[in-house]
Chains A and B, each alone.
Chain A
Amino acid sequence: MLDFPRWKKVWLWSLILLVSIASLPSIASLSGLNWPDELPDPAVNLGLDLAGGSHILLEADARQLSIQRLETMEESVRTALRQAKPAVRIGDVSTQGNRLSFMVESAADVDRAREAILPLVNGTGMTREWSLSVIDETRFVLTPTEQGNTAALDQAMDSAKDVIDRRINAIGTLEPTIIRQGDDRIVVQAPGQEDPEALKALIGQTAKLEFKLVDENALPSDIAAGNAPAGSQIFPFADGTPQAGQGIAVRRLGGIKGDSLTNAQQGFSPQDNSPVVNITFDQQGAAKFARLTTQNVNKPFAIILDGKVLSAPNINEPIRGGTAQISGGFTVDGANQLAISLRSGALPVDLKVIEERTVGPDLGADSIRKGLGAMAIGTGLILLFMVVTYGRFGVYANLALVLNVLMILGIMAAFNATLTLPGLAGFVLTIGAAVDANVLINERIREERRRGRSVVAAVETGYKEASRAIYDANITNVIAATLLFLFGQGPVKGFAVVLVIGVITSMFTAVTITRMWVAGWLRRTRPTDINI
């Protein structure tokens, strides 16, 4: 055991050197020093709880998405049957009970109707997205399949992630991490975020823009009571508009959706200089918008954002240029944010913030300072304690401990692991536990010496016999820490990472490295007695 071949020593020392160098940028960044830009900087990542920033977990409203799917299907079916030659007339359309049903007016049209809507039902992929049945001879029932809903949600989540990405990029100052989690969730992590509210408002806004004709026949009393006339729907006015608190009836069908925008910019109204959003439609959208406005001059149309009416101006003249202006009691910031949201596209599904963890930069810096302070005191005490208790062997253990800390930092930096606040606690604990192995070894050496073994034999037995207990004990720690990593969340995961790395590196530093040093010393000096 005391034989260390030259190649092994060279290998161990190069490893020590390499790891120590790898830890330097981390030490610099933790202690707030500037690392020269010219050098590569693989410093350990600081978690949001140390660096300051926001962790936001968003969840999609899957129910709302399936309602939306039914509505889209209704429009597609209507269009397909209207465009059939000759058109198929239908009635009694309903989207109640999570299914779309309608009746074909003439039983002779059933086969033609089925042919016209079959392409819609089968979808594009391999999965069947809808199941179609005909009951009572003329009633069609379309039910979304489980796979269909799952596929739709999956697609919606993918594009929602892209939309959030574009929106945050539009601010330009953040380096966020945006990841999908599970079936219906998205995590946004934004370090150093000064104003989490603005960030949430930006990523959480669905930004679904609609233009719908106002139903002028609706009675104000009906609107107030919430009863919409047939073919109409009541929408509330948005907060901040002069009519906030009231509602307005609009025609359900025949409006324009804002998904055909090419641009949106914040501007000012030429009339009263209030902040507005100027939007530009693409060619198709512009044509539709021109048609709608031409056919409905002098009638009001409602501009609806995320189910709330921003304003309901009169159409004074046909709008043919493909541009329009949205007003609705905005502030400059509000208009700017809406412009960004509209530019980056609407979220295909409503997202709700179901978890938020924000840490201000001051608190993060304070945590680092206090954590490092406590770590310094603890480490100092341990170093002292080990020397007082084990003399020379304690010094070796201490050197191994310092090396262990450097190794953990170096490995974390190399694997791009994140150091969190509980991770700092994990560090402190690792420091306390790292010398455990040396305590076990040294106590065993003491014991063997007492039993009268020679120095070399005692050291040899000490390392050999203690290693078994060290190995067993560390495996149990790795089991606990691995479970912590698997089930833990965010910062706690960071704690588990430090613990696992610390347990593994401490086996190496406390057992192998100290053995090399002890062996070297024993061979050089050949002591007849040791003070342990």
Chain B
Amino acid sequence: MKLLKLVPDNTNIHFLGWRVPFFVVSALLIVASWGLVLTQGLNLGVDFVGGQMIRVTFVGKADAPVGAMRTEIERLGYGDPIIQRFGQPNEASIRMKLPEGSDARPDLANTMAERITSALKAAHPEVRIDGVDSVSGKVSGELFRTGLLSLLAAMVAISIYIWIRFEWQFGAGALLALFHDVSLTLGFFALTQLEFDLNIVAAILTIIGYSLNDTIVVYDRIRENLKKYRKMPLPELLDLSVNETLARTVMTSLTLLVALVPLVLFGPASLFGMAAGITLGIFVGTYSSIYMSAPLLVWFGVRGDSFVPAETKVDRAEQIARGEA
């Protein structure tokens, strides 16, 4: 049986030759992402801004009466609700942010949710309340802080680990590649205005983990080759390493995508944002492992003797001293 080979044997793409244009593209994408995040903003869910999110199904009806719901909820005087179709046409989600100055009333989010559900039940006997999330301002503030903290901590902890296992240049390269991946993912959420909630933070942490998988495979090979080909110029050596590991990089990303895409397409509606985020992150992460993590090492000045054992350096110094080299 002839086996499938996605990356032909002895591929030799000159990745490093393209490093400047690709860096420009990456830098532009990062700037564009942050621009979007700062101007458009993220569509922060109730987890982070407080308020309530209710999911309802109109049992036995074809469509959710969005207009009527809006009128009924606005009448309660908490402000304008965000009502969206969610999954099937007869399912909807109702989101309401906390009104200004609600700090003194920690249970306001909950009262709001209670009044909205009872108003809906009164107006539509066929409505089924599928889910209620209500989060007070205090809790949402805590969730926001811990979410942000965990992202930063993960990026730093992982970079430190790589620094210890490899060299500082690798740690810095990984950190920058991670920054790239996280920025683009945030940009994606700013662009699509998909709801950004706790699940998305989980998605980003996962992206951080798996994006590094590919990076590490490349770095590991660079380390190996640095020991093997001591005289090879660095760009050439990096090209060789990326090409040698290309098949694995592509394959591992592909297996992840094969598992994730069905989750995006057929999974539960409430996992859509998370699954879509991770899927995008896998793409971006694969790109950055090939076009960023390795080329960055050139700029950071990894030298051929980075992984040569210390004694050898001493031996070499002695050899020079004895005039043998």
Contacts and interface: CB of A to CB of B under 8 A. Distances in A.
A386 B275 CA distance: 22
Nearest to A486: B150
A357 B133 contact: yes
Contacts of A489: 143, 146, 198
B220 A436 contact: no
Most interface-central of B157, B202, B220 (chain A CB within 10 A): B202
8 contacts: A352-B107, A356-B132, A358-B129, A379-B259, A433-B213, A446-B9, A484-B205, A489-B146
A356 B258 contact: no
Nearest to A197: B114
A105 B212 CA distance: 77
B194 interface: no
Contact of B3 (A391, A481, A495, A499): A391
A354 to B, nearest CB: 4
B1 A355 contact: no
Nearest to A490: B198
A70 B206 CA distance: 51
B149 A432 contact: no
B256 A432 contact: yes
A479 B131 contact: no
Give the contact-size bracket for chain A.
35 or more
Contacts of A363: 55, 130-131
A431 B255 CA distance: 9
B158 interface: yes
Contacts of A475: 161
A428 B261 CA distance: 10
A429 B256 CA distance: 7
Interface stretch (B17-25, B231-239, B243-251, B302-310): B243-251
Contacts of B10: 450
Contacts of A492: 198-199, 201-202
A487 B220 contact: no
Nearest to B88: A366
B120 to A, nearest CB: 13
B48 to A, nearest CB: 12
A224 interface: no
B36 interface: no
Contact of B158 (A353, A373, A388, A479): A479
A367 B270 contact: yes
B134 interface: yes
B274 interface: yes
Given A363-B130, A385-B258, A440-B217, A354 B209 contact: no
A488 interface: yes
B278 interface: yes
A374 B266 contact: yes
Interface in B5-63: 5-6, 9-10, 55, 57
A162 B178 CA distance: 47
A381 interface: yes
A476 B215 CA distance: 11
A240 interface: no
Given A356-B110, A473-B216, A531-B3, A443 B209 contact: no
Given A352-B106, A488-B202, A435 B255 contact: yes
Interface string A422-462: 10110011011101100110011011001000000000000
Given A477-B212, A487-B149, 15 more contacts: A59-B106, A200-B110, A370-B267, A373-B267, A378-B258, A422-B202, A422-B274, A431-B259, A468-B220, A476-B216, A483-B154, A484-B154, A486-B150, A491-B198, A492-B199
